[in-house]
Chain A
Amino acid sequence: MDFFTTALPALGDAWGMILQPIVLGYLVLGVVMGLAVGVFPGLGGIAGLSLLLPFMFGMDPVLGLALMVGMVAVVPTSDTFASVLMGIPGSSASQATVLDGFPMAKKGEAARALSAAFASSLFGGLVGASFLTVFILVARPIVLAFGLPEMLMITVFGLSMVAVLAGRIPLKGVAAAGLGIMIGTIGEADAGGSLRMATYDIPYLTDGLKLVIVGLGIFAIPEIVSLLRQDKSIAKDANLGAGWLDGVKDWFANIWLSVRCSIIGVVVGVIPGLGGSVVDWIAYGHTVQTTKDKSNFGKGEVRGVIGPESSNNAKEGGGLVPTLLFGIPGSGSMAIFIGAVALLGSGEIEVGPSMLKNNLDITYSIVWLLALANVVGTVLCIAASGGIAKLTTIRFAYLAPFLFMLISFAAFQSGQNFEDLLALFVIGLIGVFLRRFDWSRPAFLIGFVLSNPVEKFTNQAFQIASFRFRKGFDVGMEYIFSPIVIVLIVITLVSVVFGIRQAKVIMAEGDVKSGSKRAPLIFLLLISGYFIFALINANMIPDYNMTDKIIPLVIGGVSLLCCAILLFQMMRRSEGDTIFADKELSGEDAEAPYGLWGTLAWFAGLIIATYFVGFILALVGFLLSFFRFRAQTSWFKAALLAAVGISFMCFMASMLNRDFPPGLLQDAVDLPWPLR
């Protein structure tokens, strides 16, 4: 396709379609709705688009697209609020933002972190759109060049970021990633349908654990619990330092980093089947490796915010390529987007291979609507960031109950089971201890996120490779060691070697003091115990389902070996060695006025009460008693705050047409919504 004869006129047509007041009005409407929905961690684009679907039937295509694209585009922007302010990864796209964004908020620099993030998001979105304008014309053969071995290598490259984030004891990082992978294999295997660490008697486990729950459990709960124990505000001294203008300046000072990470975002986003789960980690890894002074990572380095945030909005643009050119959704929200596009107008837009031939102007208007939505969304977000950053100065005891409310609701939406809340609590407990004993939580999360791709691509690539080898040795070698694979192997090796060298400097959990042997040793034994149990469990899968057992066996074996070496080291080294890191010995956790178990008991109480009387009634009791007894407010103020929380929850749920977890009471008695 010739760029000048076909693409430029189509680009002109696209601008003509977009730049009308009514189209821009719909776009802004979509952006505002997207921002409102995006603050819910884990809901984001899917909930928002489902909300719009009923209106799409027969709607004017450009208006419908403006509304939907406006909504989809700002979700990776607005979930930054949760990542930076609360340490809650809003979606898989903003996991890495938490690592440095949240420490910045703790330093009182929330506004700076937010505006740096938003400026990067905006820039990433624009770079992504410009890149796509040309790239989309030649993308098809490039996308097809990424077969299973190439995708497996990208996944492995993503996993190699564990090296950078492993922490001071690399073996602990590897074991943490191994634990993440093993927990990701729980449930029915994709390939042969064997059950791993699950039984049909507990149907919940057969589906495996959802990313939302694991992300909230590993990052959000430990932070919420820790802050609550200290009973201060998020920003330590309750005053705000650098403001939003500093953030924009920070972004501008690192503009080349932003460019590079945006391109990483588009390129990785283009590859179908990987989606957004690795993009932000790769961008974070790249940021660390290209920064001279690495000592601030994990403690509030602004570059650690700029890198991932530049990549995740650019990724949305890249993700349009498989969606529009192949009809294959890159993410859940893209899947609904495809379905909704078919409803527009008289259904003349068919997403798929014919999109470029028949609807190049529509394709371009989608790309540039995306860019425009980024601009609008960012301007709104930056304007709001100074005010919203003040949240970090509020005493945390006033925020925590609302956070428990939000994350419980978000967790429940992922599977609509009561077990979702239990899983959140259990994973949260694991997160609390990983944090306490300085086992890398990012490594765990990378392992979990990439568990399914690693297993899937390994099995499928192996199967096809063995098929090719039967045809001839050279045919097989050519398949496995394509030029792309070789380049990726080299990049991965380089990144691991450099990563391990740097990992000692990057302390995601801060400088954790070490002390007695007992507690860290017990935790290590517990994790080893899980590995042994999972290995026995995987080994029980019959051999003809080798595809279902090979990854758990290999990963479990390697992780167990790491644990064994750690155990050996622990026996030989003396107390006070970094291997015995324990947050309860000194530092903020140790000095906190409230204990760990007492604080967790509040959350457990909410879950137990939900089991009996349903979520909303349990929430009434939880909020009232928390504000009265833990935050020590007056009854009047407690009732007022509880009423605010409940009405907000009900309003959002009714807008999004979502239910609350029911309890035993709801089984016995019929109650009206929202008590139902």
Chain B
Amino acid sequence: MTISKFTTAAVAAIVAAGISTPASAEVDFSGKTIEWIIPFSETGGSAKWANFFGPLLSEAMPGNPTVVVKFMPGAGSTKGANWFQEQKHEDGTTMFGSSGSTQFPYLLNDPRVRYEYKDWIPVMASGTGGVAYLNPEDGANFDGSANALQDIDFIYGSQGATRLDLVPLLAWEMLGMNVEPVFGIKGRGDGRLMFERGEANIDYQTTSGYLGGSLDLVAEGKAVPMMSWGALDADGNIVRDPTFPDMPSFKEVCEATDGCETSGDAWDAWKAFFVAGFPVQKLAFLPGDTPQDVVDTYSAAFEAVVGRADFAEISAARVGKYDVFTGSGTADALATATSVSDSAKTFVIDWLKEAYGVELN
């Protein structure tokens, strides 16, 4: 950025902040530093997410506080979440970002979880989607149903059955497919590489990973898309993912496949965990005892961020074309992300034990 460009940008930011600041009882954050705690390392998707929203939030908050992202990785994010549980409101400069990997251990009663989502105040939530794809040879057998895929042995590079990979693994199992996960990879990029080397023959990527890396494979004929996980409509039904309108959702494939039911325990469990992991994957929280005026200030700021004229454009490449929930929408989003019926919970815990020998206590 050259000096003159910098000045222009700064002036624009100041003007924009001046216009967007309503006169209501907002808390002034001038000269303060907001610490946004991310319970993962600097290298993950949550870091990307917070680093994207951080500067935008700073512009939109009254007084333009500095927003710094602080990383507190450990124990698959439970360490950071346990820490946040202990935090009390001081001056509204502590914010926490959770992800699907924070939600899942909470839902599965992981013994390390000492945090309670119900105690926290959500101020923003955002989601993503996912796409499963096959190698060309087996992909040729895919006709919108998995009927012709049930006798094939599949290998899948997985980060662990109790993580977000629970959603694809359970989906494939419901379709009657024989997918053997190879555990211990770090990140979906490594999974895609294993697929490219031909060691794995089935893979899934979140939307940004699919658009960034796997779409080229599809174009070169080295991969065949199978299905997206879908998206939630306003009534809570699973519909096609708006980013991939031409691709069937898992629900459609399940309906077309013999022996796969879109009702009953397995379906309810899958849907519950899908919803907790994808459409509302990442949430920003303030400590539970934060006064209402501070909460309102944050909510208004996030609303202003999402309301930017260029938001759709700048967010598409970095966080995907998905809903960002702000204001009153965040409470519903949180409820969707963290409530799973006891029967779904029991189903998944039993399935993890039976299929992978995972015991969660």
B232-284 interface with A by 8 A CB criterion: none
CB <8 Å contact, A193 and B160: yes
* B193 lies within 8 A of chain A by Cβ: yes
Contact of A327 with B2 in the complex, beta carbons under 8 Å: no
Contact A206 B75 (CB under 8 A): yes
| A456 and B75 within 8 A (CB) | no
Q: Would B184 and A456 count as touching, CB distance under 8 A? A: yes
* CB–CB A339/B51 < 8 A: yes
| A203-B51 contact, Cβ under 8 Å, with A22-B2, A416-B72 | no
For B18, the chain A residues whose CB sits under 8 A away are none
- Tell me the minimal C-beta distance from B40 to chain A in angstroms: 11
A9 at the interface (CB under 8 A from B): no
Residue A328 at the chain B interface, CB threshold 8 Å: yes
In whole angstroms, what is the CA distance A460 to B183 when docked?
7
With A and B bound together, what is the CA distance between A657 and B67 in angstroms?
Answer: 12
Contacts of A542 in B (CB 8 A): 357
Contact B75–A467 (Cβ < 8 Å): no
Q: Is the CB of B317 within 8 A of A342?
A: yes
Complex interface bits, B174-190 against A, C-beta within 8 A gives 1, otherwise 0: 00000010111101011
Task: Give A144-167 as 1s and 0s: 1 = Cβ < 8 Å from B's Cβ atoms.
Answer: 101110000000000000000000
Contact assessment for A467 and B180 in the assembled complex, using a CB-CB cutoff below 8 Å: yes
CB contact between A190 and one of B51, B112, B184 (< 8 Å): that residue: B184
A273–B41 CA distance with the chains assembled, in angstroms: 17
The answer to whether A192 and B358 touch across the interface, beta carbons within 8 angstroms, is yes
The answer to whether A60 touches B2 (Cβ under 8 A) is yes
Partner of B42, one of A148, A326, A335: A335
User: Which residues from B are CB-within-8-Å of A57?
Assistant: 55
Cβ A467 vs Cβ B183 within 8 A? no
Q: Is A636 an interface residue (CB 8 A)?
A: no
In Å, the complex CA distance between A336 and B47 comes to 9
Residues of B within 8 A of A4 (CB): none
Judge whether A200 is part of the interface by a CB distance below 8 angstroms. yes
Q: Is A547 an interface residue (CB 8 A)?
A: yes
B153 within 8 A of partner (CB): yes
The answer to whether A326 touches B213, judged by C-beta atoms less than 8 angstroms apart, is yes
B89 on interface, CB distance cutoff 8 Å:
no
Q: Is the CB of B199 within 8 A of A63?
A: no
For A332, the chain B residues whose CB sits under 8 A away are 41-43
Further 15 A-B residue pairs, CB within 8 A, beyond A190-B184, A335-B43, A346-B313: A50-B42, A54-B51, A57-B55, A60-B2, A60-B5, A144-B197, A147-B198, A192-B358, A203-B75, A272-B193, A328-B187, A328-B190, A456-B184, A459-B184, A460-B184
CA distance A332 to B186 in the complex (A): 12
Residues of chain A having any CB pair with chain B under 8 Å: 22, 46, 49-50, 53-54, 57-60, 63, 144, 146-148, 190-193, 200, 203, 206-207, 272-273, 326-329, 332, 335-336, 339, 342-343, 346-347, 350-354, 415-417, 456, 459-460, 463-464, 467, 470, 542, 544-545, 547, 657
The answer to whether the Cβ of B32 comes within 8 Å of any Cβ in the partner chain is no
Task: Report how far A57 CA is from B54 CA in the complex, Å.
Answer: 10
B68, B112, B153, B182: the one within 8 Å of A200 (CB): B112
Bound CA–CA A647/B178 (angstroms): 61
Which residues of B come within 8 Å of A, CB atoms?
1-2, 5, 9, 41-44, 47-48, 51-52, 54-55, 68-72, 74-75, 78-79, 111-112, 153, 155, 160, 162, 180, 182-185, 187, 189-190, 192-194, 196-199, 212-213, 216-217, 313-314, 317-318, 356-358
Q: Are A53 and B190 in contact (CB under 8 A)?
A: no
- For residue A40, give the distance in angstroms from its CB to the closest CB of chain B: 16
Alpha-carbon distance between A354 and B211 when the two chains are bound, in angstroms? 11
Kindly list chain B residues whose C-beta atoms are within 8 Å of the C-beta of A353. 213, 216-217
A339 to B38 alpha-carbon distance, docked (Å): 15
> With A200-B111, A467-B180 given, is the CB distance from A327 to B212 under 8 Å?
yes
B183 touching A147, Cβ below 8 Å: no
Give Cα distance in the complex from A346 to B314, angstroms: 7
CB proximity of B192 to chain A, nearest CB, Å: 8
Q: In the assembled complex, which residues on chain A have CB atoms less than 8 Å from the CB atom of B112?
A: 200, 203, 206
Do B190 and A192 touch across chains, with their CB atoms under 8 A apart?
Answer: no
Q: How far is the CA of A542 from the CA of B359 in the complex (A)?
A: 11
Q: Is the CB of A657 within 8 A of B68?
A: yes
CB atoms of B1 and A54 under 8 A apart:
no
In the assembled complex, the CB of A648 is this many whole angstroms from the nearest CB of chain B, namely 22
Q: Across chains A and B, which 5 residue pairs bring their CB atoms closest together, nearest first?
A: A335-B43, A544-B357, A190-B184, A347-B317, A191-B183
Please tell me if the beta carbons of B183 and A192 are within 8 angstroms of each other in the complex.
Answer: yes
B197 is contacted by which of A147, A190, A203 (Cβ under 8 Å)?
Answer: A147
Given A200-B111, A343-B51, A467-B180, also A336-B189 (CB < 8 A): no
22 inter-chain pairs at a CB distance below 8 angstroms, sorted by A residue, are A53-B69, A59-B1, A191-B183, A192-B358, A193-B160, A206-B75, A207-B74, A272-B193, A326-B192, A326-B196, A335-B44, A339-B43, A339-B47, A339-B51, A342-B48, A346-B314, A347-B314, A459-B184, A463-B182, A467-B153, A467-B155, A544-B357
Chain A residues contacting B317 (CB-CB under 8 Å) are 342, 347, 350
Q: How far is the CB of B94 from chain A (nearest CB, A)?
A: 13
Contact (Cβ within 8 A) A336 B213:
no
Of the residues A63, A203, A351, contact of B74 by C-beta under 8 Å: A203
Let me know if B216 and A354 touch, CB within 8 A: yes
Chain B residues contacting A417 (CB-CB under 8 Å) are 74
Distance in Å from the Cβ of B56 to the closest Cβ of chain A? 8
**CB-CB under 8 A for A54 and B55, given A192-B358, A328-B193, A332-B43:** yes
| CB of B223, distance to nearest CB on chain A (Å) | 11
Is A329 a contact of B43 with CB atoms below 8 Å? Answer: yes
Task: Knowing A207-B75, A657-B68, say if A63 contacts B1 (CB, 8 Å).
Answer: yes
Which residues of the other chain, B, contact A328 by a CB distance below 8 angstroms?
187, 189-190, 193
Instruction: Give CA–CA (A459, B185) in the complex, Å.
Output: 11
Q: Are A326 and B193 in contact (CB under 8 A)?
A: yes
Whole-angstrom distance between the Cβ of A494 and the nearest chain B Cβ: 27
Per the bound structure, the CA–CA distance linking A60 and B2 in Å amounts to 8
* Closest-CB distance, B152 to chain A (whole angstroms): 11
| Bound CA span A339–B70, Å | 15
Given A58-B1, A144-B197, A415-B74, A190-B213 contact (CB < 8 Å)? no
When distances are taken between beta carbons in the complex, the residues of chain B under 8 Å from A416 are 72
Instruction: Report Cα–Cα, A200/B216, bound state, in Å.
Output: 43
Given the complex of chains A and B, what is the CA–CA distance between A417 and B213 in angstroms?
Answer: 36
In this complex, which of B42, B69, B190, B217 has the most chain A Cβ atoms within 10 angstroms of its Cβ? B42
Q: Evaluate contact between B55 and A657: CB separation under 8 angstroms.
A: no
Q: Which residues of B contact A193 (CB under 8 A)?
A: 160, 162, 358
A255 to B193, CA, bound (A): 36
Please tell me if the beta carbons of A350 and B43 are within 8 angstroms of each other in the complex.
Answer: no
**Minimum Cβ distance to chain A for residue B326 (Å):** 20
**Given the complex of chains A and B, what is the CA–CA distance between A545 and B357 in angstroms?**
7
Question: Cβ of B216: which chain A residues have Cβ within 8 Å of it?
Answer: 352-354
Chain A contacts for B1, CB-based, 8 A: 58-60, 63
Taken together as a complex, chains A and B put the C-alpha atoms of A328 and B194 apart, in Å, by 12
- Nearest neighbor of B318 in chain A, beta-carbon distance: A342
CA A335 to CA B112, docked complex, whole Å: 28
